[in-house]
Structure 1
Amino acid sequence: MSTTTTPDDGVTAAAPGSTGCPVTDFGRLRETGPVVDVPGIGTRGAHMVTRHDDVRAMLTDPRFRSDAGSVDGAENAVSALFAQIGIPPDLDFLGANLLTRDGADHTRLRKLVSRAFTVRRVNDLRPRVETITDGLLDDVAAAAAGGRAVDLVAAFSYPLPIAVICELVGVPEDMRPAWRELGRLMVAPEPERMPEAARAVVAQVRQLISERRAEPADDLVTALVRVHSDDGDRLTEREMTTLVFDLVTAGFETTAHLISKATLALLTRPDQVAALRSDPELWPRAVHELVRTCGPIPTSLPRYAAADVRVGDVTVAEGSTVMAGLLTANFDPRVRDRPEDLDVRRDTGRGEGHLGFGQGAHYCLGAALARQETEVALRALFDRFDDLRLAEPDEEPSQLGFARLTELQIRV
């Protein structure tokens, strides 16, 4: 990715070209300017805020709104992105979700769903996460018998978060393959296949809602149905459908990526594995460092400037589409030493030490669950297999950043 400068407004325009390393490419943009142009977002393109302090400020600034319809002259970039990946027009309502709402409307929906992600509820889930993890690792051990290579992505990294979020929400096992296919298409788009996949999942959600009305269970779908029947705070049918759709797809794809990428990062940095084995109390801190360096989300969803906003020495015009550069912020040398290094001993200071889960009102609802799953999965994986290694050893540390792994062949 190369860059050229547009002197009229101070914004930097990103041009094609890449080194193949996301940290390098995004870092070059960050060092070019505090705000850069990002092509391919809607018909107008978008801006990306690149530097840590500016990104943090943007994510908490109410002038950057999530609902394009509330900003004069804004183009709905989420609808454009949906069209690009093949979401059919009749399902466009799925874009009106928690992440694209503001103010009281957002607060109302988030309050209702957050009951499933309280600290107590997440802590209560830990024994079940550990049980699922142990069962999957038993399968990995059996498949790896005799020195055979095993794809950890297919055997472990995906099945774990899918099982956890589906149990929490209430999606039965026979429905889960359709969700995994949808998740795959959302990160590796095949627009011609998306309409059928998306409609199949939406049909499943509507079926679940109908079944939970008839026969309640201890799951999130039942909780949403009960809210829907409460005259004091209603959810519409579309709101329920969208919430379930978003929570499941967001709840496994990102965590699966993080587990896979973190495993690769650690296996190519044996000094970091040695540190964790010598001091297991480092694991919670290590998870934050792995989110910072291997997080699956390079930018926030589009937001829209409701006024002219000054970012650094750049004015972002009212009506502009703007994204927060989470990856550029997490590797910003202005706020941390050696940001390009993975260091499980890194002192995060106050807070998390990264913006991988966002900031402000739209901070990731499932962050605590994602951290817990990642810690349980990685700790159990490296405890179970003392000789865990890549099937094809690589002496070079793997790239950091958000690039997804389609497979990860390992031996034990």
Structure 2
Amino acid sequence: MSDHGETLPRPQHRISPPPATDPAAAYDQLREQAAACPLRAVDGSLMWIAGRHEGVRTVLSDARFANNPATVPHGKAPALQVDAMRKLGLAEDLIPYLADTILDADGSEHTRLRRLVTPAFSVRRVTALRPRIEQLTDDLLDALPSHATGGAADLLEHFAYPLPINVIGELVGVPTADLPAWLRWTHDLSFDQQALGKTLGPLVDYTHHLVRRRRVDPGDDVISELIRIRDTDGDRLSDRELVTMTLSLVIAGHDTTANFIANSVWALLSHPDQLDLLRSNPALMPQAVQELLRWCGPVLVSRMRYATGDIDVGWAQFQAGDAITAALSGANHDPRTFPDPQKLDINRPTTGRAETHVSFGAGPHYCLGAALARQEAETALSRLLARFPGLTLTGQELQWHPVSGMRKLVRLPVRW
């Protein structure tokens, strides 16, 4: 039954998931079919996708849609993420490190965990990081010519990825010497799910070891601060929560930012009119980054949400336990909100709201590192374009990783 007492109608058919070849276009098609489309998950179970701007904001902001299926009363929600990990052979003791994180928490538990790390990503702390981000950016740009072969270099490998992993690594407390290993581990987690256990096990072990090191030799970093909080109030954070938080922050804090920087460079070089406009007026960079987040943000869909009861939101009806995902890409290209949405326009008028796009999500789970990601992107793009005024794509055909829910380039070869 719905909130109004009537029986909810169920779909008569299911739609296959969007193809990896052009997922953004597929999400656009789904958005125009219905406010909420039923899809067949990989295991054949029913799930829903909301792709219109209004619906996406509702799913992400309404507390009746939970992140953790265990929040749904009477066990009505399928544990899709955990089930998928078990099918991949991941050991039971490792599953919580990916499936029981701050991203999976609801209500007071989510508030508790988020409050612990929010100070590390405050506007004041992020602003204070700017000189260090600028230095790291300049160092990578200085070294870029040394990576060139035949006058071209892969900007993804030698610039877009190293910058955010160094920034978040320093912020969280990962030694610089260990960051290349982190890159390998997180790459394997993204692209080799069959070897998930072989990758996650060593990463978890390393992080436990890192926490022990920081307990003996604390520094001015997030891990040390979380240890201090735990040691002064043992009820606040368990050992597993401490390790899981560290994993979540480092993984989430570099992969999406790296791919956003690469996607943005590709977008600007593919739209010379916008690139010229930005070069002629560098003060547009913050506005340009917001438009690039809307136009080519790398995260296409949200994590799964679950209806905690029978819900009527006006534009759709859901039954308790229904699994719903929000198509961020569909919402960001919704013509109901963005006129001429397929056009990249760094001068796009705003509605007075600081951020209309949903690339960082919305509601309680709005991206914790949004301010840091924006600052990294602004710094990276500004200094890259200033250093290499002749920067161009090489003309090689670009390939995209067939990763579900993400828009990631395999390589970004450029000349200057």
TM-score norm. by structure 1 comes to 0.92
Match of 1:110 in 2: 114
Q: CA deviation at 1:83?
A: 3.9
Q: CA deviation at 1:394?
A: 7.7
The match for 1:225 among 224, 227, 233 is: 227
Distance in 2, matches of 1:233 and 1:49, equals 38
Deviations 1:121-155 (A, max 9, x none): 0000010000000000011133348x611011111
Instruction: Tell me whether 1:134 sits opposite 2:135 in the alignment.
Output: no
Match of 1:356 in 2: 359
Distance in 2, matches of 1:109 and 1:291, equals 27
Deviations 1:73-116 (A, max 9, x none): 11112213434666432211111111111111110110001111
Describe the SS at the equivalent of 1:90: coil
| 366-375 vs 167-176, which moves further | 167-176
Distance in 1, matches of 2:267 and 2:12, equals 34
User: Superposition pairs for residues 16-27 of structure 1, below 5 Å?
Assistant: 18=19, 20-27=21-28
Distance in 2, matches of 1:340 and 1:195, equals 40
Distance 1:381 1:83, change over 3 A: farther
User: Superposition pairs for residues 178-217 of structure 1, below 5 Å?
Assistant: 178-191=181-194, 193-217=195-219
Match of 2:248 in 1: 246
Contact 2:24/2:300 (<8 A) preserved:
no
Distance in 2, matches of 1:205 and 1:371, equals 27
Distance in 1, matches of 2:18 and 2:57, equals 28
Q: CA deviation at 1:67?
A: 1.6
Match of 2:40 in 1: 39
Contact 2:152/2:414 (<8 A) preserved:
yes
Match of 2:401 in 1: none
Contact 1:85/1:186 (<8 A) preserved:
no
Match of 1:266 in 2: 268
Q: What residue ranges of structure 2 are gaps of 5+ in the alignment?
A: 1-7, 399-404
Match of 2:402 in 1: none
Contact 1:9/1:314 (<8 A) preserved:
no
Match of 2:281 in 1: 279
Distance in 2, matches of 1:343 and 1:84, equals 44
Distance in 1, matches of 2:360 and 2:146, equals 35
Match of 2:320 in 1: 318
Distance 1:78 1:331, change over 3 A: same
The match for 2:391 among 388, 393, 397 is: 388
The match for 2:163 among 160, 163, 175 is: 160
Distance in 2, matches of 1:252 and 1:224, equals 20
Match of 1:4 in 2: none
Describe the SS at the equivalent of 1:322: strand
Distance in 2, matches of 1:19 and 1:173, equals 34
Partner amino acid, structure 2, of 1:341: K
Match of 2:380 in 1: 377
Describe the SS at the equivalent of 2:171: helix
Q: How many residues align?
A: 399
For the aligned residue pairs, the C-alpha RMSD in angstroms reads 2.2
Contact 1:35/1:311 (<8 A) preserved:
no
Describe the SS at the equivalent of 2:38: strand
Instruction: Tell me whether 1:409 sits opposite 2:410 in the alignment.
Output: no
Describe the SS at the equivalent of 1:13: coil
Contact 1:11/1:35 (<8 A) preserved:
no
Distance in 1, matches of 2:91 and 2:385, equals 43
Match of 1:344 in 2: 346
Contact 2:17/2:39 (<8 A) preserved:
no
Distance in 1, matches of 2:96 and 2:266, equals 37
User: Superposition pairs for residues 21-100 of structure 1, below 5 Å?
Assistant: 21-40=22-41, 44-71=45-72, 72=74, 73-83=76-86, 87-94=90-97, 95-100=99-104
Distance in 1, matches of 2:318 and 2:120, equals 37
Distance in 2, matches of 1:160 and 1:374, equals 10
Describe the SS at the equivalent of 1:304: strand
Partner amino acid, structure 1, of 2:202: A
Distance 1:388 1:98, change over 3 A: same
Deviations 1:44-63 (A, max 9, x none): 24211111011112211111
Contact 2:61/2:363 (<8 A) preserved:
yes
Q: What residue ranges of structure 1 are gaps of 5+ in the alignment?
A: 1-6, 396-400
Deviations 1:192-220 (A, max 9, x none): x2212111111111111111111111111
Distance in 1, matches of 2:164 and 2:18, equals 34
Distance in 2, matches of 1:372 and 1:12, equals 44
Distance in 2, matches of 1:242 and 1:19, equals 29
Contact 1:178/1:200 (<8 A) preserved:
no
Partner amino acid, structure 2, of 1:392: G
Contact 1:86/1:189 (<8 A) preserved:
no
Distance in 2, matches of 1:46 and 1:320, equals 7
Partner amino acid, structure 2, of 1:207: H
Contact 1:11/1:314 (<8 A) preserved:
no
Partner amino acid, structure 2, of 1:174: A
Contact 2:77/2:323 (<8 A) preserved:
yes
TM-score norm. by structure 2 comes to 0.91
